[in-house]
Structure formats: C-alpha cells, structure tokens
Structure 1
Amino acid sequence: MFNEENTTEQMIIATAKNNGWTYIKAEKLPRKYSDVLVEQYLADALIRLNPEIAAQPQRADEVLYRLRAILLSCEGEGIVRANEHFTSWLRGEKTMPFGENGEHTPVKLIDFEDYSNNQYIVTNQWVYPAVENGKRLDITLLVNGIPLVIGECKTPVRPAITWVDAAEDINNYEKSIPQMFVSNVFNFGTEGKCYRYGSIKMPLKNWGPWYSDEDHSEGTIESVRRSITSMIRTDVILDMAMNFTTFATNKKHQRVKIIARYQQYEGANMIVDRVVAGMPKKGLIWHFQGSGKSLLMVFAAQKLRMHPALKNPTVIVVVDRTNLDTQITATFNSVDIPNIQGASKIAELTKYLKQDTRKILITTIFKFRDVTETLNERENIIVLVDEAHRTQEGDLGLKMRLALPNAFMFGLTGTPINKLDKNTFVTFGADEDERGYMSRYTYVDSIKDGATLPLHFEPVEPKLHIKRDAIDQAFDAMTDQLSDDDKDELTKKAAKMAVLLKSPDRVQAVCGHIANHFQTKVRPNAFKGQVVTFDRECCVLYKNELDKLLGPESSAIVMHTNNDKGNKFAQYRLSKDEEEKLLDRFRDPSDPLQLLIVTSKLLTGFDAPILQTMYLDKAIKDHSLLQAICRTNRIYKNKTHGLIVDYLGIFDNALFALQFDEQIMKKVITDIADIKEKLPELVVKCLSYFPDIDRTLSGYEALEEAQNCLKTDEVKDSFAANFSVLHNAWEALSPDPILASYESDYKWLSHVYESLKPVSGMGSLLWHSFGAKTIELIHKNVVIDEVRDDLENMIVDADLLEGMFSGNPDKKGREIEIVLIARLRKHAQNPVFIELGERLDKLRLKHEQGLLNSIEFLKSLLILAKDVVAAEQKVEPVDEQEKAKSALTELFIEAKCEKTPAIVERIVNDIDEIVRAVRFPGWQNTSEGVRTVKQSLLKTIRVKYKITDKEVYDKSYSYIEMYY
C-alpha cells in the first residue's frame, strides 16, 4: 500500500532526476558513514575547477583539511557561524597561496558561472555518523560531493502527520548531528500534502512554501511535486547559495541565517533579469506590507552588484523619509553585504554620483531636491525606490530622473496609489507589464503562506463614538441660558474635532476601555499594544489617564518633539539611542513596558512582532492607514492575528485600502495614455497666445511683452482655462520622461500665468484655476473631485442660474452641489453654515432616494445657493482675518523656542501677508493652490524663522486652510 518511502520519497527522487540530478544510493557513495563530505567527488571538482590545484593535485588535500576544520568548529562556535564560514568557501571568496611565488588565488568549490561543470547527486537514506545509532536522512542533495540540501519526508496517508513533523525531525538533527548542516543551503520537509523549507536554526513558524506560478493550491502530492519541480533545481539551489542567502545579527546579538522566500526570489530575479536585458528601464514590485520587501531589496542589490554582465554597477536604494532612519536602512546595515554607503546629505549624494562611486548607496528621495543637472549618465545604475508613492515623489521624481537619465528605476510598495494625478503604476509600471506591475504578492498570499497574519477589527462601545446628533442635543441643553452671540462664539470653539476628541469624559472613557481590553484580552496572551492618538497633546492626556489605570511603567510616549527646553512636550523627548532602547524594551516579552502611545511616529517602518493590538483613535486613510494597521500583522509565537480596536469607524476605509480593482487601474492608465498623447497639443495651444515672443529672454521687459499678448479679460480667461488643462495634465504625467521635452515651455507658461494671477479674489478677471468646463479633457481625465471657481457669477444672478435648466439638470446640479460644498467648507465652524450644510445633506439624500427628481433637486439647490450667498455677505472679512491671525499667534506663542524669534507678531504678519499674496478664491480645492500656499508657508516658517517642528507647520496650514 502507500507509505512514506514509496510515495513522498520516491516522488522527490523522480522529480529531482527529471531536474538534472543523478540518483545514487547512499551506500554506493565513496564515503565513510562518519564523513560529511564525499571527499573523492570534492577533490575531483577542486582539480577540475582550479588550474593551480590541477597543476599540483595534492593541494586539494590542503583545501579539504581547511573544510574539515570548519565542520568540527560547529561544536564550539555554533552551527550558524560554521555555516557562514563554509558559505564563504562555497562562494569562492576564500583564497590559498597556490599562485606564483606563493600568491593567494581564489579557490572554487563550485562553478557558479558554468553550472555544467558541476556534479549533481540526489540520494536517500544517508546515514551519519555510524550504522548503529546514527541518524538516517531521507533526502540529501550534493553538489561536487558537498551536501547542500537535506529533506525529510513523512507519509501522506496518516491524518496525524504533517510537514511540521518532518521539519521538527530536521531541527532535532541540527542539534544531534550539527556537522551535517555546516555546508547546508536550506532544508525542506513534506508529508506529500504541503511543502515547506527553511534555513538552519530557523523557527518552524518561519518556514515557508515555494511556488513558481499563480497556482498556490496545496493538499495533494501533485502540489508538492510542483514545488519540488520548481525549487529542487540545480540552478535555483546554486542561485540561492550565491545570491539569496545572507547572515545578520539579531537584537539579541545572535548570529542568524536568512534565506529568501519565494516571492523575494521571484521579485529580485525579475529586477536582475530586466537590468541584464537592458529593457524595459523600470518596473513595479507590489508586495503586501510585512511580506519582506526590505530583504527583497537586499537580495536584489546583492545579486546586481555581483552580476558579471553588469560590470560593477551602482545600486541606489531610495527611502521615502527625510532621514535614513528606516527599516530598509536597518536591514541593509544588519546583513553582511559589502560596499554599502549611506548618503544622508545632498552634498554626499552629489559627490558619490559625480565621482562614479560603484557601491550600494542608500539615500532619501529628498536628497534630490536641489538637483539642477545630470549627475551620472551611466546605464548600469539601478535605483530601487522603497514605498514608491507619488506623494513622496512629486517633483522630486523629475529631479531624480534628471540626475540619473539612463538609470533603471524600480518601485517597491505594499500600498500603491491608483489615482489619476498620483499613480504608482504609471510612475514605475512598464508598458510591457500588462497588469502594470512585474510581481504581485497579495494580502491573501501573505496570510496563506504564513508571511503575515490576518487583521481583525473589533468594534468599540457605541458610547465612545462621536455622534453628531448627540453633540447637537447636548450643546442645545448646555447653552439654553446663553445669548445667541455667546452660542455662536462657543460653537466656533467647541466644534473642532480636537476639542471633541480631547474632552475629559471621552479621554477617560476611551482609556478605561483600552485598559480593560488590554488587561483581559491582550496581556494574558503575552502580547503588547499600541495606542494611536489624534495629536501630541492627546498622547499626554492618554498617558496620564492610563498611568492611573495601569501604572506609569506600563506605557510610554514616542513622538516628535522640538529642542525647546520650555516646550510642554520636552519631557518626552528621546534621543535616537534612547528611543531604540525603549523600543527594544517593548520588544522584550519580560519587560513591563506594555503599550506605546503615538500619534505619527512608529506608524510606518516599525517592526515589533510582539505588537498584536492597535487602539486606533486617529483618522487615517488609504495607504497611510494600511501601513499603520499592518504594524500588527507580524508573525509571533502563539499569535493568530493582528487586532485593530477602532474608535473612529475607519473599518470601511481599511477594507477599501485592502481591496484593489485591476480594471480601475487599467482605466486610469488608459486615461493617462490619452493625456500623454494630447500633451503636445495642449502645449501648442497655450503657446499660441504668444506669437512671435522670444521665450529665451528674461527680465521685466520680456514679461511685459508676454503679458501684453493677453490684453483683454476674455483672452486672459481663455489662456487661464487652457493653462489649467495643461497644468493638470502635467501633474497627472509627472515624472514621465516625456515631460523633459516640454519643460522649458511649461516653466515659461507657468511664470506668465503666475504673473497675471490676481492677488485677491476681487477684480474683473475671472480666474479659472481648474480650467473651463467646455474642454472635454478636463471632464474626462483631469478634474478629479475638484471644484470650479465660478460660483459667484452663477449664484449672485439667480436669473442666469435658472437659465441653466436648458442644459442637463443632473450635470448642472452636480456642478452647483460641488461648488456649494466648497463654499460651506470655508465656514465650517459657523453654526449658520452648519445648518445650511445639513440642508444640503437632506436634499442630497432625498435626491438619492428618488424623492426629488433632477429638476426639483436643481431648483432646491438654487434656493440654497442664494441663502449661502446671503449668509456670506453677513460674514465680516475683518473678523475672519483677525480670527486667523489670533489662531496663528496662539500657535506660535506655544511653539516658541530658543531658535524662534521673540517677536511672534512679526511671524504671524509675514505669514498673513505672504498667504494673502499667493492665494486665490477656492485655492483649497486645487492642487496648485495647495502647493503654492504650502511652499510659501514652508519658506516662511522653516527657512526664514528656522522653525522645524512639523506639527507647528501642519497646524499653521490647517488654520490657513480654514480662515483664508
């Protein structure tokens, strides 16, 4: 009948033979039972592969003597250290004095350049170290007499037996006969249903599957044969030995061996193959958060640097932070890969590239911001971009491509962005890749393979949610004795999200829930947690409350702080070393530190497998949300899932972030292809306003000549509309190389456009910042949830608006609705406008429910629009200005430090003056407006006044967005 030997074992031997291995029975091999190496075969290989040894064959004995010493050393220094030393010999990195005059020459045990020069043997029932009481290994694979792979088989017909039993046997062999694993590349175990492999001393929970195609089904002997056919190949095993194995020191200062998972092997080889082929020059690797992209980059960089066809290339690893303190950097620094160089300063990166440095350079995308010229034109420069989002790149992507015009660009991400003006697939996806990416490793794949854990979302008690109706009722009850003016003032202050989130009752309730939940559901299982709060002040509020409930030693705050000793957050400031020690304490299961309280730090790149539960009380969206919640999905002993306790109802957003519709992605890419095709026409159309103008000239006279081409308001409007189309098309395509041909023309046009933009919203020029509705390209491809800026003309004259009924009422209704939403947002804290917003919500609901037809809906919107205009006319502009300046003044007084000028009023006035100079009506709803205001604010705060606190900058911008 069926047993282990005649099913699993024989299937593996037969598959190996088909893959080019020669089968020899173990007892027929020329070795003693006490020999780890088949020394006769290895001596033959040494003579065959090394001319210096062939000249004097006795030299083979000298090499064998060295190798025997390494085999014996595992008893003293451990199996991993011994394996690391032997790996250096396997890779040909060791030398012997066999050259002329005793010169050292490399010694080849295996030929990694011409695989046909090696001998490949598969055997079974290998006995070591003696016939009696020796261990019997089911499958052993030898190259040139060196055992590189050991496999253990179990029967597929006993329900209680699994691959784990096979893997446990191998783990026991590593302890009882460690010499047999000194030369090992990897081990595998199977019961004929599932196949798993791992490196020496690897915990069983980290053993992984191996697939070669999209069929990841398991449970049959056929599925195991597919894995064996794909992995137990001579070229794959030698590739793993040379390029996909590395050694590192873990947090406990122990030496560990790391071997690639199948998705890392596939992704890295796709990159290498593409570079060796020379085309295409880019590609996207999309692997889920926590599945090992850092190591994929390590293996790719290692193989690229060693590949002879690439002639000593430069590999640049680009991270998306402002500094190099990232998980990627930590991974590269922890493994033993030669010639790694960090470029933490712009000057360093420029120097390395101009000097043609041939190493692995690690830098940040921001180090390219001052690039104005090509730094290196070599073809064999390969750029690996971590977390390849356009939000991190923007114009920096163009700068990077300007610096390295002929480089290969590969993006690696777990959370791609798929929007028209921010699209990872367009930025890095090659046209040759039908799906937009080279390799994808999904959320489902990572969970099924055991690379990550599933995520669970747990609803909290309803009373902890912020309920709008309940707040309104409570407010009415609280203020029934106040005057209307006092109510209005109170509403403006109390309606802010921060005030609601920081109310003492809510903080107490949330922290009470956290403490109870953690003590009953998390801590008993020996896991730890992370609390994510709204801002830094919330971190402190939660810490103080949790200290009462759990004790001060149970939690710690990790957040950004500035260098001001008087700052209220100064006591929570940690140096880099202090922070790392704190995080090591958190990773230590025996340490009393149980909860980390954060607001923005540690939401990306932080790796602590013991972290199981995230208490999320901060609104985060899209890829940022996915990155944050995946802090909990790492593998850990007895951990079955990551848990998100959701206090703000982000569950639906998380589901959306985890899903992906490839058809939508293809549609967006098709739209962008259309825009690319129309780009030359858009540029020509904008330039047509300036016939016979010499665009190479500069100075006020040249600018005046250009402005004179736009003499009337109608012509200015027309140019503004067409330039808006061009601008949005440019944003959607950036950083596509096609833009380089038009960059000087676009820059000239943008300068003219900016020079004509009115300082305020008043005046005869109706400035179409978002383009004209008559241009089809805007409607189809460019305007994505953007708001037109012609509301005032539409609603001041009601007769004019009612004349719009002759068109499509659904379309007109949508246009007015969008404009109303934008207008209402400007007065979000005013109770009058809150009521108007509620009216709009009710109208939209009735329309969606079919209670209002399109004509009735449009008429109702027109009435509402008139009321909005009437309400706006009662708003005092001066009052709005004073509120803005008052809010900014309060912020900068709080943030004042040693490096901040004492005169806060001057800072506020400068910001007020600059923002009023660059803004325009509806700027908050345009990418250009937001960028311009943010750049102006950045220059004022960071450059002029040297204020580097990011939270100050963020809050300043939020006030400006609200009041200006």
Structure 2
Amino acid sequence: MSYQSELALEELTISQLVSKGYERIRLKDDQALINNFRQILNERHMDKLNHEPLSDTEFDRLMTQINGKSVFDSAMILRDKFVLKRDDESEVYLEFFNTEKWCQNRFQVTNQVTVNDTYKGRYDITLLINGLPVTQIELKRSGVAFSEAFNQVERYRRHNFTGLFRYVQLFVISNSVETRYYANSDKEINKSHMFYWSDEKNNRINNLKDFVESFLEPCHLAKMIARYMVVNETDRILMAMRPYQVYAVEAIINRALETNNNGYVWHTTGSGKTLTSFKASQLLAKEPGISKVIFLVDRRDLDSQTLAEFNKFEKGAVDMTNNTYTLLNQLGDRSKTLIVTTIQKMANAIKRNHPVMKQYETEKVVFIIDECHRTQFGEMHRLIKQQFKNTQYFGFTGTPRFLENKSQDGRSTADIFEKSLHNYLIKDAIRDGNVLGFSVEYINTFKNEVDTTNEEFVESINTDEVWMADERIQMVAGHIYRNHHKKTRNQQYSAIFATQKIPMAMKYYRALKALSEREGENGLKIATIFTYQPNQDMRDGEVTEHAKDELESVIKDYNQTFGTNFSTDTYDSYFADISKRVKKGIKDQKIDILIVVNMFLTGFDSKVLNTLYVDKNLKHHDLIQAYSRTNRIEKETKPYGNIVAYRNLKKATDDAIKLFSETNDTEVVLSQSYNFYLAKFLKTLSELYKMAPEPSQVDAIEDEEKQKEFVETFKQLSKTLLMMKTFDEFEFNEAVLEIDQQTYEDFKGKYLYLYEMTKRRNDSDKASILEDIDFEIEIMRNDMINVSYILNLLRDINLEDTKERDKTREQIHKLLDKADDENLRLKRDLIRAFLDKVVPNLLPGSSIDDAFMDFEEEEKQKAIELFSKKFEYPQQQLNRLVSEFEFSGQLDRSEVGKPLSGGLITKRKKIDEIQTFIKETSKIYSNEN
C-alpha cells in the first residue's frame, strides 16, 4: 500500500510538472538516459554540427571526457563550453546548459529510472535539462518521517548516483506536506544544509504542490541552477542559495538596472550575508552598463575570514595589501570588474587625486557596502560620494539604524540607502534553523538592592568604583572559571568575554590568568586584545594612556602560551592568529576565553564559539551584534548560543529583540536638509562667539557654570558639524560657515580641556557607595530566546491603561501574523481569541496568566465536546485519554479503540483520527508556551 501511495504521489507530481512545461519521457535505465542525452545534444547543435550528428566514435570520445566525473567536476562541465574534436579534426563548441538565457533549454521529466551499480536503485522523479539529470526528487508518502527521504538519497549518493547522474545539482525531498531542497556534493551532506523554499515575505512553501508551482517551474529551476548556485572552487563544493538570499540579489539587480536609486538589505546577523553580497556583486559586475562593482568593508571587519570567503568565489578579487597603489592599479584595470577593499583605503585612493580616478567621474560604479549600519556614516563616505558621480549604493546590514538606535550623526539607514529591498529578521532565521536561538542567563552581582538600571541613580555614584571593585572582579572571574566547562561542553567550544573598557579587561585578564595558572596544563587558555592607536576615536572606550604597554605584556604571555613571536609591531598578525584560534576546535591550540572591549563583537564568525560573557552595557544593534557571535549553526551539541550577563540587561535584550523583529520603520528618514543644519550651526556659533569671540578668550571664563555652558554649546556645534559633513555639498568654507578650520580646531582644544576639567569635578562630587554594597553572585533569570520567546515579550499587557493595552494587543497580532514556529502555529488562533474576547473585559489588577489558563481550559473542553459529538465517541473516555497523553506522552491504540464498532479498516481509520485529535489538542492547550 505504501508503494502504491508513493507511486500515486509521483503521478500527481509528474502531471503537475507536465502542465508547467516539462516533456514527459520514459527512461528505463541509464543506457536509455545516455541515448536521450545524445539525441538532444545533436538536435540542439544541428547548425554547429553542419547537420551531421555526432558519430559513434565522436560521442564515445565525448562521453569518456564528461561521464562518470565527480559531482564538482560535472558541475563545472555543465556550466562551461565543451570543445570536441570531430573525426575530420575540426573542432566544435558544445553547450550543455544555457546559463545566460536559462528558459531556452529543453526540460524533461521521467520517473522510476533503474540503475544497477553496487546496489540496485530505482529513482522516484528525475528532472532533466538538455538530457542531463539535474534535479532528483525523492518522495515519501505523507506521515513517513521526513528523514527517511534524506537517508534514502544519501544511500543513492554513495552507491548509485554514477555516470550522468553525477550531473544532479539539486535534490528535492518531500513527504507531500514537508518539502526541502539542497545541493549535491562529493562530500558528506549535513541535514542543516536542507533549505525550505519561501515567498518574498519569508512565508514557507512547504506543500509539495505549491513547491512545484513555485520552485520547480522550468525557467525558475534553470535560473536557480544557472544563477543562484555557487561553484566553490577552493573547497570543490556546490552551494545552493537560500530563498531570502535569492530574493535579495534579485531586488538589488532590478534596482541597479531599472533605477538610479540606492537600497539596502536587512538580513539578520549570521544568515549568510557574505554569500548574498558576493553573488549580487558578481552578477552586477557582468552587466555591460556597469564599469566597476566595488565591495567595501570596514577595516576592522576585513579579517582573514572575509578575505578567504570572497577569494573562494572570485580568486584575486580581494585587495589583501595595505598599499593604496594596489587598489589604484585595480581601479585602472578594465578587465577587473569586481574589487573588494576597505572604505579607508578607498578614501586614501581618492585623496591621492590619481589620474586613474578621472574616468569614474562619469562611468557607472556600484558600491556594495558591508555592515552598512556602521560604515555608511562619516567623512570617508562623503569623499567617495564626491568622487564617484554616477554611482549607486547598496548596503547590507543585520542591524539597521532607526529612531531608537540612530547613528552618531543622527541619521537612520534609510537616510543613506533610501529603501529596504529585502528583510530577513532574527525570528525568521531562528525559525528556519539558519541561526541558533539564545539562552540568556542574567546574573546579579550585588547582594543589596542596588538599582543599576536607574540612570539618574547611576549618574550620582562613582560607577567605575562599583563595577571594577576588586572584590566584584574576583567574584565574577571565579564564577566564570568554575562554570566555563558546563557552558562549553568541557572546552569543546570557545567563549568571548565583553568588558566595558581596557582597565576592566586587564583586571579580568589577570584574575582569570591567575586562576588558570593554578591548574597548570589543565588550566584555561586566556587571551585579550584591544586597540591602542594614539589617534583612535576616544569614544570607542578602548584607548587609555598605557594601553600599548598593557598590550605588550599580554602579547608576551600569549607568545609563551602558544609558542608564537608577536609584538605590537606585528599587531595585525597577532589579531589574525587570535581570530584563527578562537575558531579552532582543537583543544590544545584554541583560545578558551578571549577578553575584549569592542573588538570581535561584530563581523566575526566562528562555529565553535558558543558562549558570550558580558560585563558591559549593551543595547540595540550593539547587543544583537554581540549576542550573534554565538549563534552560528554547528552540530547537535550546540543547541543555542549561551549568553551570561553580569549586568541586568533584561530590558535592553527585550527591547533589542523587539526592535529587530519588526519591519515598520525601514524607510523612516531622520535627517533634515543641509540648509537646516547650516542654519543651526550658524545660530550655535553665534552663541559661542558671545561667550568667547576668539579661542584664547575661553581662558578668561572662570565661573564654573559659564564653563559648563561653553562646553555644552561647543558640543552642540560639533554634533551639527558632524551631521553637515555627511552631505555632498559640505566644504569647510569660512565664507559659508563663518569660521575657518584652524579656529574651529583651536576652539575644540579649549573645549576638550574644559570638558576634562568639568568631568573631574563631577567625578570628585560623586558619592562612594562601596561601603553600602555586598557583592554576591545570584542568577536572576534564564531566558531562552526563540520565536515563542519573541511572542511572549509582548504578553505583559498593561490593564491599567486601555490605550496601552490595545496597542500591545495590536503588536501581538502582528507578531502572530509573521511568526511561523510550529508550536506557535498551533496556538495562534487560541491566543488571538484570548486577546480579542477576554483581554478587553479584564479588570485592572486581574491576573492575565490565570485568565489565559482558564480560557485555555474552557476552549479545550469545547473542542473535546465538539469532537465527541461529531465522531460519536464517549466524551468521558476522550477526556481520560487526553489527560493520560498529556501526562505520559503515550497512547494505547487498544484503549482508544475499545468504544468503537465496525469493520477493521473503518475502525483503524477512526483510531488514527482520534489519536491525531488527542495529540494536537494536547499541543494546542498545553500550558507550555
């Protein structure tokens, strides 16, 4: 019966494929497959062959060269032109697959091809393009475990997929209600490489019929193989792109070719942005109207991993040197249409005013900007915009800037890039299994009731004195050291420890190092890294007077631990070595805990990094970026990313998850016009001149309140100037700004002096509360962040305020519309009904949890009563069976069938339906959310 059922599913699927444009053929075995390929090859090349089909010797010669190769080599042959020497010594170019005009190929479908290799195999459905089998569909009847289809394909791959079946590019497996696709390979295929197909809004297309309609439509399948698979020559593997990657690339290409507007892609951190941005860059670089595609990254993100990833796809594309002339040579090379470099080096190239830059004043250039939430802003970006007149910008970010987390100069991502072209949010990625969820543990380090979330209170105390108290540092270090083996499965994984500033990082480094040295060879390997450049932006929170000396001592320890020979003079090599060791799974060679301030918290990917310890204040994009270092998919032993926060980041975490799980504000522009900021600058400058017409006269301001007023006024002037610098028309022109650059810098010097003086006075006035604090480690709560958690964030409804209550209800409804978690899907209608029927009638002070549980139980009883009447099944028995299943998770078929009468087949069908109802009812109305 199961075979007939699967055969019936095959016939339905083939009928649908034929209706989509596939030609149905019957191929009994691999010889019939070869004969069909030969016939089509001759027909498609009849003109090139001068209407003389390939002779037996010619075809045999061709088959010797293309048949039975590896999957990778077959993929290369499929996409390339093949030169065949004919019997008369002439040469002819054969094309196996039209990759440019993918609809102009011949599409066929067959089934039940039988192959006799080591083991006999009979394949369900084979899709052919130009006679070559490029997609294999393996079907199981509905109800059969999905993994069975995957395991069967794996058996075929090991034993049967030989000869021309090595040209299979994609596998599709389905049990009718669950359908996925994945790339073929010569190597082992991990189940995590099976992907769902979806629509542009990230709604899954699970049903086989819908999947055939969308994904297997002939032109679409050919386009997927031609355009949206990557042949990775370095690793010799095929890579299939995920649906959201495909939609993002399509959106960028359409916008680049059809408009002169910018755009950005919001794909959550860890969802494969490198592959998406590369494919967009590669395809745009092939367009005749585009002179150059330049992929820009921030210098701090251009680590060895970024270089390696891009060079896998396009050898020699990455400018790996520090020499600006290398970039200028690349810009002058007409044949090099794709360049990968840093935004800093590009700015330097422009400043050189080299003749090669002249051509780019008119020629069309496309910039792809990585992590555009950061590199989009500032002086360097403005310089680039002024040089490249005919240009478009496309940004990629996992954490865009909105009103809540606007950039330093006050702008949102939409201010620069105008429009979000495609979104794939953190909730989507967790749901699809493309990134892991988070387990967040909040640790309180104060025994007393110290409100460290109250900003006014925190401002009034000496916070460094509290956070960096020796007793607290030692206590936290001890807690980390004692529990590290649990978090990392006995050092199978690595951890990063994010600290507030360099002095704190060094305190923790010494404390953890001391604990490790007591263990000798069994101790943890501790390392730290931070920046020390004298002209580093002080706002980074990383630079101190003795940072370089501290770093020298740290590197000396590192050399002793790992047998290396680095110094601050070879800082880049030290950085690269640390990056490599945090990614290594080899116990003796990897770093166990890397202590950082800001570095490695963005743009760093490591599958063997599973834990982030946090003793710093994080919010919005900084928090999501830092947490996301831990959530790369690895294997079953890494079910989620561990976050251990030694500060109360609960609200900040919840706010960040909410912010980056909504798409309402993707096109909100925050900035005003250039003239608006110019007027504001001149007004503030006028107020400054009233206090001190010349920089030297600032010294005469002795009153502390007047000094504070000067500091605040200049700070406002500086912020306005920063915003003005983002506009193309900005120039430091004295006639326009009413101040020359040198005078401005002199005022800035006075401001910095007074700022430090004011800050020191304020610090000395702060109260010490150390005497009132006892430090103590206490777990406050542990949250598992997944799709259900995202929903539950909004369930804390305020019944005191009807406006606020209804606003929250609306937010929950929106989340329910978007979420696609399996358990949530079952409870969705129940939650909606509760929100609309019960919540509006609850009185202030009512327990929402109690109300929901009562509602759940009422609805459950209604469902049981309805089912009982419909199926004429005793309600009391049904209640008992539901209760037993909820308790034990087991169902006794004989018990289910006792009250039933009728024939064996009828009875079996009824038992199946009753069991299904019991299981679904238990899931829907369970109290586990």
Q: TM-score range by the shorter chain?
A: 0.5 to 0.7
Task: Say yes or no: does 1:360 pair with 2:330.
Answer: no
Find the aligned partners of 2:193 and 2:47 in 1 and give their Cα distance.
Answer: 42
Aligned to 2:635, which of 634, 637, 642?
637
TM-superposition CA deviations, 1:565-591 (whole Å, max 9, x none):
993223136566676566555545452
Q: Measure the CA separation in 2 of the matches of 1:829 and 1:10.
A: 79
Residue 179 of structure 2 corresponds to which residue in structure 1? Answer: 195
Task: Kindly state the Cα deviation for residue 17 of structure 1 after the two structures are TM-superposed.
Answer: 2.7
Normalising by structure 2, we get a TM-score of 0.65
The 5-angstrom pairing of residues 383-782 of structure 1 reads 383-390=367-374, 393-419=377-403, 421-430=409-418, 436-460=419-443, 462-463=445-446, 467=450, 495=462, 497=464, 500-523=466-489, 526-534=492-500, 535=502, 536-537=505-506, 538-548=508-518, 551=521, 554-560=524-530, 567-571=552-556, 572=558, 574=566, 586-592=582-588, 593=590, 595-599=592-596, 600-638=598-636, 639-660=638-659, 666=665, 669-672=668-671, 675-676=672-673, 679-680=674-675, 731-732=722-723, 735=726, 739-740=727-728, 742-744=729-731, 748-750=735-737, 752=739
Q: For 2:412 and 2:747, how far apart are their aligned partners in 1?
A: 36
1:829 aligns with 2:790: no
**2:214 is matched with which residue?**
230
Counterpart for residue 14 of structure 2: 13
The alpha-carbon deviation at position 169 of structure 1 amounts to 1.3
Q: Which of 92, 99, 109 is the matching residue for 1:122?
A: 109
Q: In the alignment, what sits opposite 1:301?
A: 281
CA contact (8 A) 2:198 2:205 kept: no
1:621: how far off?
Answer: 3.5
Residues of 1 paired with 2:218 and 2:742: CA distance? 67
Structure 1: distance between partners of 2:662 and 2:381: 26
Residue 92 (structure 1) aligned with residue 80 (structure 2): yes
What pairs up with 1:69-84 in 2 under 5 angstroms? 69-73=65-69, 82-84=70-72
Query: Which residue in 1 is equivalent to 2:859?
Result: none
Residue 261 (structure 2) pairs with residue 264 (structure 1): no
Shift of the 403–24 alpha-carbon distance from structure 1 to 2, 3 Å rule, reads: same
Higher relative contact order by CA 8 Å / sep ≥ 6: 1 or 2? 2
1:340 & 1:603 partners in 2: Cα distance?
23
Give the conservation status (yes or no) of the 8 Å contact 2:375–2:381.
Answer: no
State the distance in 2 between where 1:167 and 1:762 align.
67
Q: Which amino acid aligns with 2:245?
A: Q
Going from structure 1 to structure 2, the CA distance change for 1:670 and 1:336 (only over 3 Å counts) comes to closer
Matched residue, 2:896: none
Distance in structure 2 (CA, Å) of the matches to 1:117 and 1:134: 35
| Alignment partners' CA distance in 1, 2:734 and 2:335 | 33
Matched residues in 2 for 1:459 and 1:162: separation?
39
1:146-165 C-alpha deviation (Å, 9 max, x unpaired): 00011111111x2xx33222
Q: 1:4–1:500: structure 2 CA closer, same or farther, 3 Å change rule?
A: farther
Q: Structure 1 unaligned runs (5+)?
A: 28-32, 74-81, 431-435, 471-490, 691-702, 705-719, 770-791, 793-820, 839-964
Aligned amino acid, residue 234 of structure 1? P
**Cα distance change on mapping 1:240 and 1:447 into 2, 3 Å:** same
Work out the number of aligned pairs and report it: 693
Residue in 1 that maps onto 2:139: 153
Confirm or deny: 8 A CA contact 1:682 1:722 kept in the other structure.
no
Q: Which residue of the other structure, out of 85, 98, 101, is the alignment partner of 1:111?
A: 98
Q: In the alignment, which residue of structure 1 is the partner of 2:267?
A: 287
- TM-aligned CA deviation for residue 263 of structure 1: 1.2
Q: Quick one: structure 1 residues 125 and 663, their matched pair in 2 at CA, closer, same or farther if it must change by over 3 Å?
A: closer
Match for 2:124 among 134, 138, 158?
138
1:234 positional shift: 2.1
Q: Alpha-carbon deviations, 1:865-885, whole Å to 9, x = none?
A: xxxxxxxxxxxxxxxxxxxxx
Aligned partner of residue 488 in structure 2, secondary structure:
helix
Residue 743 of structure 1, CA deviation? 3.1
Shift of 1:684: 8.1
For the aligned residue pairs, the C-alpha RMSD in angstroms reads 4.5
Q: Contact (CA 8 Å) 1:496, 1:829: kept in 2 or not?
A: no
What amino acid sits opposite 1:624 in the alignment?
D
How far residue 317 of structure 1 moved from its aligned partner, in angstroms, is 0.9
The aligned residue for residue 293 of structure 2 is 315
TM-score by length of 1: 0.63
Identify the match of residue 254 of structure 2 among 247, 267, 273. 273
Which residue of structure 2 lines up, in the alignment, with residue 211 of structure 1? 198
Letter in 2 for 1:134: K
Indicate if the aligned counterparts of 1:686 and 1:749 stay in contact, CA closer than 8 A. Answer: no
Secondary structure of 2:361's counterpart equals coil
What one-letter code is carried by the residue in structure 2 that aligns with 1:532?
A
Please say which of residues 742-751 and 436-445 is displaced more in the overlay. 742-751
Task: Give the CA deviation at 1:646.
Answer: 0.6
SS in 1 for 2:230: strand
CA contact (8 A) 1:453 1:634 kept: yes
Contact 1:585-1:591 at 8 Å conserved across structures: no
Bigger mean CA deviation after superposition, 753-762 or 516-525 = 753-762
Q: Secondary structure at the match of 2:177?
A: coil
Q: What residue number does 2:44 align with?
A: 48
Q: Match of 1:924?
A: none
**Aligned equivalents of 1:273, 1:668: Cα separation in 2:** 19
- For 1:44, the aligned partner's letter is I
CA separation in 1, counterparts of 2:243 and 2:663? Answer: 28
SS for the counterpart of 1:178 is: coil
For the residue of structure 2 that corresponds to 1:141, the secondary structure is strand
Please tell me whether the aligned partners of residues 45 and 110 of structure 1 are also in contact (alpha carbons under 8 angstroms). Answer: no
Identity, % of aligned positions: 20
Q: 1:608 to 1:244 in 2, by over 3 A?
A: same
Q: What's the secondary structure of 1:514's corresponding residue?
A: helix
* Partner in structure 2 of residue 698 of structure 1: none
Separation (CA, whole Å) in 2 of partners of 1:140 and 1:271: 33
**CA shift at 1:99, angstroms?**
13
- Is the contact between residue 272 and residue 304 of structure 1 (CA under 8 Å) also seen in structure 2? yes
